[in-house]
Structure 1
Amino acid sequence: MHGTKATPYTRAEIAGLLPGSRLIPVSQQYLRYLAPGGYEHGLVRQVDLRDPMSQDTFRLVRGRLPAAPGEAVISAQRLDEQIRPGVTLLATEERRPLRVVGVALFAPTGPNPSVVVFPGSLPDSAFGPADPDQVTHSWLVDAPRPLSWPDVRRLNARGLVVASRAVADSASASKPQYDLKINGSSLPVLPWTGIALLQVVLAAGPAFAVGRRRRAREFALVAAQGGSPAQLRLIALADGLLFGVAGAMAGVAIGIAAVPLAAPGLELWSKTLVDSFSVPWISVTLVAVLGVVAGVLAALAPALGAGRTDAAAVLSGRRERRRDRAGRPLLGAVLVVAGLAATAASARHGVHWIAASALVTQLGLVALVPTLVRLVGGAAARLPLPLRFAVRDAVRNRGRTAPAVAAVMTTVVALTAIGIAWRASAVSPSPYLRDRPQGPAGSLWISAAGLTPQLWDRVRAAVLRELPAGVPLVEGRALATKAGVPLGVSLPEPVRSGNRPILFLDRGYGGLLAGDESLLRYVLGREDPEAVAALHAGKAVVLNPATVRKGRITANVTRQDAGPLDNPEPISLPAVGVPPTGQGWARAVVAPEVAEKLGYGTVTALLAVNPADYRMSPATADRITAAVEAITSHAVVRLETRRGPVDDSVALLVLAVAAAVLVLGMTFVATALAAVEARPDLETMAAVGAAPRTKRAVVAGQALVIALLGTTVGVLAGLPPGAAATRVRSSYEPLFVVRPDGVPVLVRAEPPALLLTIPWPLIALLVVGLPLLAALGGAVFTRSRLPLPRRRVT
């Protein structure tokens, strides 16, 4: 509860409005405080965390709670080497000491506090006067009864803003959880749901086929006793229904149980408390129904096969005659052409449309797979016996081979498309400013805001220890108050057309630096006696002459400390425009004496090594970086070198592991089914004297055929959606970027497309590595002893 009147409500006033209630005050404000690593700026809250009313707003993870004025806990987000339990922070202009005694996670009900102090640690003046839009004084209230909506309206009329738990709970209970209408926000989910459903159906189909094959004698007995084909199909579909229901219920139970178990780890990772969760039963039910539907659909093809069981053949031990399945080549070809055309056009509309187009292409390929398997059979004549047998067995049993190949194919399509899109994002130039040069090539610069002079002295000494004797350090100073609080400086913008936003590469100090001729030489990139003379004469050297008007330049100065933002204070300086050589790395340079004459101070904001004085090696830069990081975590150390592409080896490794698990798992299931059905042929081989290793070779060949067909078709089908994903335009707005000297370096009318690059290692793994690994696995995990022919009594 907090008030909206000009002066804070007193405890007596709040107690009079809520008789019988217990109150504890809460005050908060964004304050600047000094830590061992430099000045910090964050939300400081003053409240008694030991009170039971505060318990649901935080969780202590280290140390203890504040118990006396001058003690504080810090947010886990602020915990580092410089700010930790045992450290003393100094807050407000009076430098009130705040000893850190613990670390806590805070609930994300609003801005998370950086520091929470015990009541009485800071004076009331530290929390006001504040920005009118910011709440600094509030109360936690334990009322005798829950506050109803009429109570909230009554208090609102008195100028209080009230958050009632009872009102919030009743509102959330009466509000419908989800809108089931198909609208623009739910449409993007549909193609991904369709792809997932297709993947599950094709992956589970061979497993149900194996089960139907192992239960062939049971189906034959049912048929021999008068069971109709429809009844046989219902028995097989019941398997899919049973496993679908069991899998869906197990998945729902595991998913619901995993959330509270994962919550503590998620809190430590996000460094904030996780809201109490409620089960969205509508969504959970829809997912469970989708799982049941997937189980039934996966069992559909085996159920159709069960309905055609030849009871006489099965019971007599003969091979069943099966109808040749040619697929739907015409329908498949039409869907493939339509899907490829839609993929080419969908790049303009986003990845969801690409996914929908890829789904159409995959459905067409599923219909074409039996025809592709038959075409491959024509190339088996000159292959060795195990491979020739495997290819012809796959062609003869296309009803079993096609689903397995299609399952592998759909997985590889997704992995190929993701790999291409990821590699394109890694090798393409980054649009983010952090990857663009922010200093002359070969220079090392150190930038930081909020460091004390003592810390800057330590940083300077650490850098000089790593440099050869006589190498100078360039120092750039930013405008500040007399007390050393940095100020914001807004210099005139360069002339531009249109309404595009502008970003400056000036690292936060407005592009105005104070320094001597060494700084001027650093930003100009050359020796310039006229510019040095102007600097000594008290003029601002402006590196964008277009912003100089009548020999002067005007800038706006604003405060950035804890107090309310002042109105911008304009300052006018005599100036001379001097264009830089190459890139300037500052928009204006003045002498420190000029800032003093204007009533301002200066603080160090930049240390740099000019490449004209010393070419820094990467090893030296690494040592300097380690030394500076040991002093403060606030500083940024960077050696300006040419940036290479982002290392995407970890992402490709994850894709490779996923491909190995999924592709090999599906291949081994399909190979097990093929081995069961090939038993009569293996018995014949044993009868005519085939070597024991022949069985291993045959099973390895069956695994190789299934994996190689699936991965080859999948890679070819994954190339179009992956290429289309690289053409998708990002959602960020056109941007106008200028150097710190105000000279434009990038005018982006529209976001650039990514560079299409094929991840050849991933493609090689999919097309060559996984099929060979599948063949090796089939050979290793197969018993070499050939089955002996069964002797039947006639």
Structure 2
Amino acid sequence: MAALIAALRIARRSAWRSRGRSALIMVMIGLPVLVITAILTLTETMTVTSQERLVAELGAADARLVQAPEGTELQQRPGGGGRWSTGVDGAAEPRLGAAEVVALLGPGARLIPFNTGELRLGTERVDALETDLRDPLTRGMLTLSEGRLPAAGEVAVTPAFGLRPGDLLRPSGAAPLTVVGVVEHPHQPSLRQVVGLDLPLTSSDEFWSPRGYGTGWLADTAKPVPWTDVPTLNKAGLHVTSRATIMDSSRFEVRPFDIRQKVGIGIMVIMVVLETVLLAGPAFAVGLRRRRRELAEIAAQGGSAGHLRTIVLADGLVLGGTATVMATVLGIGAGVLGAPVVARWGGQVGSPGVPWTPVLAVAALGLLAGLVAALVPAVQAARQDTATVLAGRAPAVAGRRGWPLAGAALVLAGLVATVVAWRRPDSVWVLASAVLVLLGLVVLTPWLVRLTGRPAGWLRLPLRVSVRDAVRHRTRTASAVAAVMAVTATVVAMGIGTHSEYVHGRNAYTSARPTGMLAIWGGNVGDASWDRLRAEAARLLPGVPLAAGYHAKDAQGRRYALRYTVRWNGIRTRRTVAIGDQDLLRLLQGRHDPRTAAALASGKAVVFDAAAVRDGKLTLRASSTSGPPRTLDVPAVTATPADEYQGGALLPRALVEQAGFATAERQLYAMHQPPADSPLWRELTKVTAKVTIAFEHGHRNVSEPGLWGWLGGALVLVVGGTLAATRLAAADMLPERATMMAIGAPPWTLRMVVAGQALYISGLGALVGLVAGVVTGVALSRPMTTHGAGGPATIAIPWPFVIAVVVGLPVLATVAALITRTRLPLVRRPL
């Protein structure tokens, strides 16, 4: 214990003497700890539990009841689970009145309206809440920060609107509303919401979801509303959120063991420790060389090899411990203070919370990284020759012949594991295999440094000095090269995987309708409802030509869907064919084609997927949810669609009826884009809740922000790590550079020596990382593009991104080192 205390005291004094190097090590160790701790604390603070959300959801009420649209089947289950489905005939009772709901809740119940929906303000839609904030049941839901609570004809708004009391809101098609107060949500500072007693809300049925928009009540009941009462209320068409069920839900929360999640966390831990150790390792190595004489004097006075190891490990303990404590405190503070700021951009915030178990685990991880980074220098310190160091001679650097073999074995094992993981549906196994490859390359890096130093004699003087110095101090150099290699391999692999997934999604995009087509489907509605729906659509779309589509039904009235399967860009795709006439064909082709029009009129199918037609026939599978399936072979011709990504087929009614089906018009198509404030959906859902409206926007070729994020991370780590290692090397090369200056070397030569170190470190690390990253990225592309469904994988390499990482970042690091200040202090040079 006395030796440990003495070692800690020596480490503290040494750290204070070399404050610049100590600060650099602490930043490298503490930065990952700070970032991860801040993210964990931010996530915990921004996670609002159901118990924390209780007051915001219910106020002082015992329950909130939301009416489901007619034809909706509800079934809630303990633990927050459940299901609901719309369009089920007779699933729910007609809408209830307040008196009927009170009868269901029992004597002593009191209700106030609580309706959520949208309010139209010109072309903008904003969230709206229709209730009486003056009622005691709403206490705590919203906090008044300015003005007063609204009465009839008045509203309160949240701060995100930027309005003050006295301003006016002008809803579309309704009288202006006067703003009398500003209210704040306890957990959502970015919420834009209007609250009032009587608001012109849009129809909520079209937006309905159990915890979304809907009409209902807040209820004050004589007794709690437990889970045993929920099925009866569900059957009456009421979704229930009660204080008793929320408080009881925590008993049903079960977190299953997820092996993939555990493996993913393990991979992250290994990579964080590895990168931290590799970045901080050179600084410990330089510190060891500066303290060799001090350590040799301790050994000469009777210090054992264990004492020397303890002294150097104490450096890692002191610096790593200090960095970890400071980073943990700063990370917790950043997470707690940053949560309200982030929530104002979007999201929610609860009470400050710190997940102590993962935070302490991260802190232990930082301390472990500091000790591991000092481990190699500690072993070297224990093995140094005391007489050689005290005589002022440089100790011989002996390589270990077994390390290259161990590294090659790890790389080979990682490659074999990558081949095996390539066939697995989860990308986490490929990443786990890549960790083995990276560890093997880290072990191989000193051998690679020695190997690449042999051609140094062919280089010009500045680069020759840089490379030979790098090879002479392989411990410092190999650590920095391995750090750059690990970052480059990770970034290249994720870049290839991300780009492949993007290209796969772009190539896989297909549609049965051309861009700009509006589709209205009636579902299983009766003839009378369809006639009203069609008439209403014609009224709402004046002057827009409407083409009819048809459903197929058998003799028993069961609806059948006609489908076929085809490969689209190598991806197995199932299409549902349309049934229609010449008007629909003209819309699908975007023009009049006499050949296909004649084929359709003669009773042939018009197919836009040429691969689906064989020997002039299209094979269809007719399937129904309640009837037996059938297989049909129909005559077909191929045609060119309006858009290149468009597929599908069109069948004439006569062909379907010849197959034994009856046809009924239940679809409308038009080349028309409704404006954002179009009443089409609202008005059509008034006719029937079973209507479906879709508009084909086409493929949106958005950019790939993920690649730029990876490039930004690589920029910080590669350039920052290279410059840190270069500065350490420059400080370590002071005698050599001073000798060069003394014999007349110009300043640019000294700059080139420093820049050569940066070029060698970043260039070698980037090239090795490129090879590892390409192998992992190609393997990663399969699970990311096939998603476990089999079939060929999409492999796409983003060459500009790869060139920017592998070439651009080393060049940038070299340029940054080239402009580094090279003025030297006077130093004592050995004769």
The 8 Å contact of residues 484 and 762 in structure 2, kept in 1 or not, is answered as yes
1:710 aligned residue: 765
1:248 is displaced (CA, Å) by 3.0
Aligned equivalents of 1:284, 1:177: Cα separation in 2: 23
Q: Which runs of 5+ in 2 are unaligned?
A: 1-62, 66-73, 75-91, 521-532, 551-556, 613-621, 627-633, 642-646, 654-663, 682-692
Aligned equivalents of 1:66, 1:512: Cα separation in 2: 54
* Comparing 764-773 and 383-392, the one that deviates more: 764-773
The 8 Å contact of residues 411 and 663 in structure 1, kept in 2 or not, is answered as yes
Amino acid aligned to 2:640: G
Other structure's SS at 2:671 match = strand
Aligned equivalents of 2:714, 2:120: Cα separation in 1: 51
1:754 aligns with 2:794: yes
1:67 aligned residue: 151
Other structure's SS at 2:287 match = helix
Q: 2:561 aligns with which of 475, 489, 493?
A: 493
The 8 Å contact of residues 575 and 648 in structure 2, kept in 1 or not, is answered as no
Distance change >3 Å, CA 673–CA 532, structure 1 → 2:
closer
1:573 aligned residue: none
1:393 aligns with 2:448: no
1:424 aligns with 2:480: no
1:770 is displaced (CA, Å) by 2.9
Aligned equivalents of 1:523, 1:491: Cα separation in 2: 31
1:356 is displaced (CA, Å) by 1.0
1:416 is displaced (CA, Å) by 1.1
Aligned equivalents of 1:455, 1:653: Cα separation in 2: 45
Other structure's SS at 2:271 match = helix
Distance change >3 Å, CA 533–CA 761, structure 1 → 2:
closer
2:80 aligned residue: none
Aligned equivalents of 1:364, 1:228: Cα separation in 2: 33
1:682 aligns with 2:753: no
2:483 aligned residue: 407
1:234 aligned residue: 310
Amino acid aligned to 1:713: V
1:347 aligns with 2:430: no
1:689 is displaced (CA, Å) by 4.4
The superposition leaves residues 103-157 of structure 1 with CA deviations (integer Å, 9 ceiling, x where unpaired) of 9997999xx999876445589x9999x99999954425499xxx89xx8479779
1:335 aligns with 2:410: yes
Normalising by the residue count of structure 2, what TM-score does the alignment of the two structures yield? 0.63
The 8 Å contact of residues 501 and 784 in structure 2, kept in 1 or not, is answered as no
1:242 is displaced (CA, Å) by 2.8
Amino acid aligned to 1:709: L
2:809 aligned residue: 770
Amino acid aligned to 1:494: L
1:139 aligned residue: 218
2:371 aligned residue: 296
Amino acid aligned to 2:218: W
Aligned equivalents of 1:122, 1:694: Cα separation in 2: 77
2:715 aligned residue: 660
Q: 1:86 aligns with which of 169, 173, 197?
A: 169
The 8 Å contact of residues 723 and 817 in structure 2, kept in 1 or not, is answered as yes
Aligned equivalents of 1:170, 1:666: Cα separation in 2: 51
Give aligned-pair identity as a percent.
32
Amino acid aligned to 1:386: P
Aligned equivalents of 2:667, 2:482: Cα separation in 1: 67
Normalising by the residue count of structure 1, what TM-score does the alignment of the two structures yield? 0.65
The 8 Å contact of residues 420 and 723 in structure 1, kept in 2 or not, is answered as yes
Aligned equivalents of 2:394, 2:757: Cα separation in 1: 19
Other structure's SS at 2:218 match = strand
Aligned equivalents of 2:185, 2:595: Cα separation in 1: 54
Distance change >3 Å, CA 88–CA 762, structure 1 → 2:
closer
Other structure's SS at 2:822 match = coil
Distance change >3 Å, CA 73–CA 337, structure 1 → 2:
same
1:198 is displaced (CA, Å) by 1.4
2:131 aligned residue: 47
The 8 Å contact of residues 48 and 118 in structure 1, kept in 2 or not, is answered as yes
**C-alpha RMSD of matched pairs (Å):** 5.9
1:582 aligns with 2:582: no
1:579 is displaced (CA, Å) by 6.9
Distance change >3 Å, CA 531–CA 680, structure 1 → 2:
closer
Aligned equivalents of 2:444, 2:589: Cα separation in 1: 69
1:381 is displaced (CA, Å) by 1.9
Q: What pairs up with 1:616-765 in 2 under 5 angstroms? A: 647-648=703-704, 650-728=705-783, 730=785, 750=790, 752-755=792-795, 757-765=796-804
1:743 aligned residue: none
2:57 aligned residue: none
The 8 Å contact of residues 687 and 788 in structure 1, kept in 2 or not, is answered as no
* Structure with the higher helix share, 1 or 2: 2
Aligned equivalents of 1:438, 1:314: Cα separation in 2: 80
1:445 aligns with 2:513: no
1:319 aligns with 2:319: no
Aligned equivalents of 1:709, 1:392: Cα separation in 2: 14
Aligned equivalents of 2:99, 2:352: Cα separation in 1: 36
Q: 1:379 aligns with which of 440, 448, 455?
A: 455
The superposition leaves residues 548-575 of structure 1 with CA deviations (integer Å, 9 ceiling, x where unpaired) of xxxxxxx99xxxxxxxxxxx9xxxxxxx
The 8 Å contact of residues 169 and 176 in structure 2, kept in 1 or not, is answered as no
Other structure's SS at 1:493 match = strand
Distance change >3 Å, CA 419–CA 714, structure 1 → 2:
same
Other structure's SS at 1:408 match = helix
Other structure's SS at 1:139 match = strand
1:202 aligns with 2:202: no
The 8 Å contact of residues 25 and 138 in structure 1, kept in 2 or not, is answered as yes
Q: How many residues align?
A: 660
Distance change >3 Å, CA 524–CA 258, structure 1 → 2:
farther
2:657 aligned residue: none
Other structure's SS at 1:494 match = strand
1:780 aligns with 2:819: yes
Distance change >3 Å, CA 71–CA 646, structure 1 → 2:
closer
1:307 aligns with 2:382: yes
Aligned equivalents of 1:75, 1:646: Cα separation in 2: 33
The superposition leaves residues 462-516 of structure 1 with CA deviations (integer Å, 9 ceiling, x where unpaired) of xxxxxxxxxxx8555899xxxxxxxxx9974215589x9997689xxx8779979
The 8 Å contact of residues 338 and 361 in structure 1, kept in 2 or not, is answered as yes
Amino acid aligned to 1:430: R
Amino acid aligned to 1:359: V
The superposition leaves residues 271-308 of structure 1 with CA deviations (integer Å, 9 ceiling, x where unpaired) of x5445564322222222222221121112122223334
Distance change >3 Å, CA 8–CA 314, structure 1 → 2:
farther
Amino acid aligned to 1:675: A
1:250 aligns with 2:337: no
Q: Which runs of 5+ in 1 are unaligned?
A: 91-95, 461-472, 480-488, 535-539, 547-554, 557-567, 569-575, 591-599, 609-624, 735-749
Distance change >3 Å, CA 697–CA 266, structure 1 → 2:
closer
Amino acid aligned to 2:749: T
2:112 aligned residue: 25
Distance change >3 Å, CA 165–CA 263, structure 1 → 2:
farther
Distance change >3 Å, CA 694–CA 87, structure 1 → 2:
same
Aligned equivalents of 1:242, 1:68: Cα separation in 2: 67
Distance change >3 Å, CA 718–CA 384, structure 1 → 2:
same
Aligned equivalents of 1:209, 1:132: Cα separation in 2: 61
Distance change >3 Å, CA 497–CA 316, structure 1 → 2:
closer
1:264 is displaced (CA, Å) by 4.0
Q: What pairs up with 1:149-188 in 2 under 5 angstroms? A: 152=226, 183=259, 185-188=261-264
